[in-house]
Amino acid sequence: MRLVQGNEAVVWGALAGGCNFYAGYPITPATEIMEYMARLLPGRGGVFIQMEDELAALAAVIGAAWGGMRGMTATSGPGFSLMQEHIGYAAMSQTPCVVVDSQRVGPSTGQPTMPAQGDVMQARWGAHGDRPALVMTASSVKDVYDTTRLGFEWAYAYRVPVIILLDAVLSHMRENIELPAVAPSPEISQPTGGMSPPFGPYPFVPFSAATRTIVSGLAHDESGATRGSGIGAASERILQGALRQIEKDASRIARCRTDRLEDAEWAIVSYGITARAARSAIDLLRRDGVRVGLLELHTLWPFPEHIVREVARKVRGMLMPELNLGQLVLPLRSAVEGICPVSALGRADGELFTPEAIAAAMTEEIQQIEVGGRVSHHA
Amino acid sequence: MPEVGEDLKRYLRSEMMPTVWCPGCGHGNIARSIATALDRLEMDLGQVAILGGIGCSGRTPFYFNTNAMHTTHGRVLAFATGLKLANPRLTIIVAMGDGDALAIGAGHFVHAARRNIDLTVILYNNNIYGMTGGQQAPTTPFSFRSTTSPFGSIEPAFDAVDLALAAGATYVARTTTFDFAEMPEFISEAIRHPGFAMVEILSQCPTYFGRLNKLGDAPDMLEYERDHTIAAEGSTTQAVEITRQDLLGTLPVGVFRREIRPEYVHQYAALSRARGGNYGE
């Protein structure tokens, strides 16, 4: 057991996932990730480079992927906004990479050192156009490690930029965890042939002497060709294929944790740092005899509709507390519409919810539902 | 692109022809010079990657029979930096436009030069934004017209050579599409140079820059290039002094710097070794 910081856990999880390339730009509260990488990667034979801005950081990661290294970057809101151009490029070019966004209060410079969950929609919809999205979050240092490691696996399995959402508190808090030993220089074998087409539902093959791949952000077909009458349709075909593949694996991708839902009449649906307060809120409510349970979402996108519906069928109402003014509650409501009512509890002032605040909102919702209707809270 | 002989065809992707470039555009001559340079250096095409940004010049990667990336506007050098670090054995040629390198991507340009990472930038300078239809570029000379400076530019123009020298590029040269001999010569030298190399090539855009400024068609513009440049081979200080001349006047062409300075990938490999790592081995 060791006391590990959330940002440090990102680094160990990434290394366990085979990460050997990091490009970044300093930003609170994500900076420690690059500081650890700067210390660790040279001695492990990997590459660390500090770029001139966040656009360049993600561009370098994408370039490195085509050069055969497994790359990531980490940032916070303002940098995440800048990275949208290249998140779109990574999606269009089916380049595997991992982007960690330690959320702080926005918009703009906001409150650099204070936690938020305001990038949930940007993580899904930030780049222009449609794209597949794999977005995960975590609520403990151990989760951060596991999620980052898994992020690399998924980035390569689905050839997408995987986004991991942390927040200022999770990044900076320390918890005792068991860190599995990480091999000094992971050798990840990658296909080297030029046998299958470079794009579409085929494995990611970096540049080699055997390939003549053209990577472009322009609409293209499976061969990489960007002109001809069918290019628009081919580009949509590749996108639809990627979306279908993710949909097909929805049950594997949708990671969550449940707590005391077995006999629950009410459910708090939560994610990230807020789920910790939600768990304590359940202790408080249960002490008062309220049968409430927790559904903690680890995968945010694709939104795990089947899981929330299953819970919705068993309870009389749901509450979603989140550190924004109502973002993930939108797909939640749309998924459980007609099954059970959902209340939202939001705040965007840089403070965490107390368990008492969540318990009070749940109690209020219960009272409201017992007389009928739906409520919305904003702290 | 002009007709190329059988000797150069193996460097090009015939299925991608014809190019997007307008009749009379100088960019095909530059691409042909890149092919000539690859041929002279007897490059193994599997070890070459050609990258481009967005704009007319950015289409260059599509025409070469190598691994290639057509990236985002201005940011190609950041992609190239990651690719080079991940695969140091690759010879990477980066095609950039003047808007790409000196406006939206100026920040990436100066930092790649400062690091002295072993990349070869071919800067296609046609003094205008061609792909979007003739808007003012950071290289549009003072008083010259574009669709967004319809009464003549009131801004001074950027000098790419000045900027590259100041940022620390270790091979800096400029020539024009008029000079068929110098283009492949400078490009070859830049590819061989172990560090950040930049060759700026003044290229004619008869469709927009020429038409809007009444400079005539492609042959007239090539003569214009010839008449408004002077050979200025020399030391750095001389070169810097000379490039500060008004861009409306005569522009010096030649090699302005050849310098060996620690290259970024080598520096990183040394750091990795010192820390017990095996990067680059």
Report the greatest alpha carbon distance in chain A: 71
Chain A residue with minimum CA distance to B45: A209
A127–chain B nearest CA distance, Å: 13
Minimal-distance CA residue of chain A relative to B273: A43
Residue A191 is predicted with a pLDDT of 59
Q: A177 CA to chain B: closest CA distance, Å?
A: 27
Rounded average pLDDT over B28-46: 96
Nearest by CB: A66 against B15, B81, B83:
B83
Residue B231 lies in domain:
6-274
Please report the pLDDT score of residue B249 as a whole number.
67
Which pLDDT tens digit goes with each residue over B131-145? 999 999 999 999 999
Cβ-contact A264, A132 below 8 angstroms: no
Of B83, B278, B281, the CB nearest to A63: B83
Tell me which chain A residues have a C-beta less than 8 angstroms from the C-beta of B81. Answer: 23, 49, 51, 56, 59-60, 63
CATH for A2-177 (3.40.640.10, 3.90.550.10, 3.40.50.1100, 3.40.50.970): 3.40.50.970
Contacts of A63 in chain B (CB under 8 A): 69, 78-84, 86
Which chain A residues are within 8 Å of B44, Cβ to Cβ? 209
**B219 pLDDT more than 60:** yes
- Residue B221 half-sphere exposure toward CB, CA atoms < 13 A: 24
State the residue for tokens 């990997």: A46
pLDDT of B88 over the 50 cut: yes
- Secondary structure in 3-state letters for A231-256: HHHHHHHHHHHHHHHHHHCHHHHCCE
Mean pLDDT of A180-185: 66
Q: Which residue of B has its CA nearest to A198?
A: B67
Q: Which of A57, A152, A72, A117 is nearest to A277 (CA)?
A: A117
* Nearest one of A40, A112, A41, A50 to A76, comparing CA atoms: A112
- Whether residue B148 lies inside any domain: the answer is yes
Confidence band, pLDDT 50/70/90 cuts, at residue B32: very high
CATH number at residue B20: 3.40.50.970
Residue B211 has pLDDT above 50, yes or no: yes
Q: How far is A66 from chain B (nearest CA, A)?
A: 7
Task: Write down the pLDDT at residue B1.
Answer: 59
Give the one of A45, A57, A210 whose C-beta lies nearest to B278's C-beta. Answer: A45
CB contact under 8 A, B69 and A51: no
pLDDT reading at A187 higher than 60: no
Task: Please determine, for residue A229, whether its predicted confidence score (pLDDT) is greater than 60.
Answer: yes
Between A351 and B7, whose confidence is greater? A351
Who among A43, A64, A225 is closest to B277 (CB)? A43
In chain A, where are the structural domains located? 2-177, 256-378
Mutate to test the interface with A, among B15, B59, B81, B104 (most CBs of A within 10 A): B81
Closest CA to B96 of B70, B118, B116: B70
Q: SS3 of B47, please? A: helix
Nearest Cα to B32, choosing from B67, B69, B4? B4
What pTM value is reported for the model?
0.96
A300 C-beta neighbours (distance < 10 Å), count: 25
The sign of the dihedral angle between the CA atoms of B116, B117, B120, B123 is negative
The model's pLDDT over A72-117, given as tens digits with 9 standing for 90+, comes to 999 999 999 999 999 999 999 999 999 999 999 999 999 999 999 9
In sequence order, the β-bridge partners of residue A81 are none
Say if residue A67's pLDDT is above 50.
Answer: yes
Residue B239 lies in a domain: yes
pLDDT band at residue B53 under the 50/70/90 scheme: very high
From chain A, pick out residues whose CB is under 8 angstroms from the CB of B45.
212
Q: Return the pLDDT at A180.
A: 81
Give the integer Cα–Cα distance in Å for A334 and A336: 6
pLDDT at B247 over 90: no
Q: Is B259 left (phi over 0), alpha (psi -120 to 50) or beta?
A: beta
User: Do the chains contact at A45 and B78, CB–CB below 8 Å?
Assistant: no
Contact B82 A46 (CB under 8 A): no
Number of Cβ pairs < 8 A linking chain A and chain B? 146
| Chain B residue at shortest CA distance from A43 | B277
Instruction: Kindly determine whether residue A44 and residue B46, on different chains, have CB atoms separated by under 8 Å.
Output: no
The residue with tokens 């992020």 is A151
Number of structural domains in chain B = 1
| pLDDT for residue B214 is more than 80 | yes
CATH number for the domain running over A256-378: 3.40.50.920
Buried b (16+ CB within 10 A) or exposed e, A164-183: bbbbbbbbbbebebebeebe
Predicted confidence at residue B192, as pLDDT, reads 98
- Search chain B and give the residue with CA nearest A72: B82
The Cα of A62 is separated from the nearest Cα of chain B by a number of Å equal to: 7
Closest chain B residue by Cα to residue A21: B86
- Per the CB < 8 Å rule, is A216 touching B70? yes
pLDDT band at B6 (very low <50, low <70, confident <90, very high): confident
Residue B24 near residue B207, CB atoms below 8 Å: yes
Asked if the structure places residue B280 within a domain, the reply is no
Check whether A374 has a pLDDT greater than 80: no
How confident is the model over A181-197, as a mean pLDDT? 63
Q: Which of B20, B67, B92 to mutate to test the interface with A (most CBs of A within 10 A)?
A: B67
Which pLDDT score is estimated for A371? 83
Residue B263 contacts residue B197 (beta carbons within 8 Å)? no
Q: What does the pLDDT read at residue B10? A: 92
* Assigned token pair, A364: 């209020």
Q: Looking at the partner chain, which of B47, B66, B70 has a beta carbon nearest the beta carbon of A218?
A: B70
Instruction: Decide if B275 and A55 are in contact by the 8 Å CB cutoff.
Output: no
Q: Which alpha helices (DSSP H) does chain B contain, by range?
A: 6-9, 27-40, 76-86, 98-99, 106-115, 160-167, 182-192, 211-212, 218-227, 236-243, 264-274
Q: Do B107 and A63 touch (CB under 8 A)?
A: no
Confidence of residue B2 (pLDDT cuts 50, 70, 90): low
Q: Please, what is the average pLDDT of chain B? A: 93
Tell me which of A1-15, A181-195, A277-291, B77-91 is least confident: A181-195
Asked which of A175-184, A352-361, B79-88 is least confident by mean pLDDT, the reply is A175-184
- B65: chain A residues, CB-CB within 8 Å: 212
